[in-house]
Amino acid sequence: MAENPGSPARRRADARRNRDKLIAAASDVIAETGPAGSLEEIARRAGVGSATLHRHFPRRADLLEAVLRDRVQALCARADDLLTAPNAGTALVTWLRAVVAHAATARGLGPALTGYDADPGFSPHTLIREAARLLLARAHQEGSVDPGVTVDEVLHLANGISLATESLPDPARRADRLVALVADGLLRRATGQ
């Protein structure tokens, strides 16, 4: 028997789809214009009305937190996938590239949430740090990264690259080049080259 289009399950599925579309559209708008991007533009790109946006996200900060949560969860899932990659050093660098790409498109998302009464159970920094720790530990164990390299250093490199390139023309390409330079030094150092 087909599900009734007005059933609660159908409405919940539609609401989840709309929420997901709003988060994806907001992520795109933030990448283009920053966290102060137009809410009307976000709703338009998601294919929903402003009322739907505000029903899901009563405050701009609620939407920004949802975007940040979605991005951090994607970075952590990518790290989990890379934990089984054949080369731990390459896996760490691949993830570092993903973190830098995230930062390049976040365009002030973190600072925009400063002072916001966010979900106390959601700590982006803690989640990212743990993902980096697991990847780095595996690279240390494999011997592809010097054991003296710390998680904080890896994350500071990602942050530094992001900050150094965010206002340059073609920041993604320039950031990727800097990650390649850092990776070359990071991975060679372990082999003594």
CATH of domain 61-192: 1.10.357.10
Give the mean pLDDT of the chain: 88
- Enumerate the domain spans of the chain: 7-58, 61-192
Q: CA-to-CA distance for 15 and 10, rounded, in angstroms?
A: 9
Q: pLDDT tens across 21-36, in order?
A: 999 999 999 988 889 9
Tokens of 50: 């402003």
CATH class of the region 7-58: mainly alpha
pLDDT recorded at residue 51 = 96
Q: CA-to-CA distance for 8 and 14, rounded, in angstroms?
A: 10
Q: pLDDT tens across 156-190, in order?
A: 999 899 888 888 888 888 999 999 999 988 885 55
- Rounded to two decimals, the pTM is 0.83
Q: Above 90 in pLDDT, residue 138?
A: yes
Q: CA-to-CA distance for 50 and 39, rounded, in angstroms?
A: 8
